[in-house]
Amino acid sequence: MPPLFQLRLSFKEGVLVSADKVNKPVAARYAFKAWTSGDLFNKYGLTASSFRTDNWEIK
């Protein structure tokens, strides 16, 4: 199964996320669950914190 999205890291631009099957992306979330094991690491081997780019109310 091909990946749903592509992730690119840039020191100047930050985290860039793209998805070919998403015509008009409005937000991105990473490791956004009550408990999850992250798979985004920095050069020191530390996992990235969970994040979201939206500010919608969570129900």
pLDDT in tens, 1-59: 666 767 666 667 777 777 877 888 888 888 877 777 778 888 898 888 888 888 888 77
Task: Look up residue 29 and give its amino acid.
Answer: R
- Please say whether the beta carbons of 48 and 28 come within 8 A: no
Structure confidence at residue 35 (pLDDT): 77
Please report whether residue 34 resides in a domain.
Answer: yes
| Total domain count, the chain | 1
Q: What is the pLDDT of residue 29?
A: 83
pLDDT at position 18 is: 78
| Domain hosting residue 13, numbered range | 1-54
Task: Name which of 37, 27, 34 is nearest 5 in CA terms.
Answer: 27
So what's the pLDDT on residue 52? Answer: 84
Query: What's the pLDDT at 3?
Result: 65
* Residue 59: inside a domain: no
48, part of any domain: yes
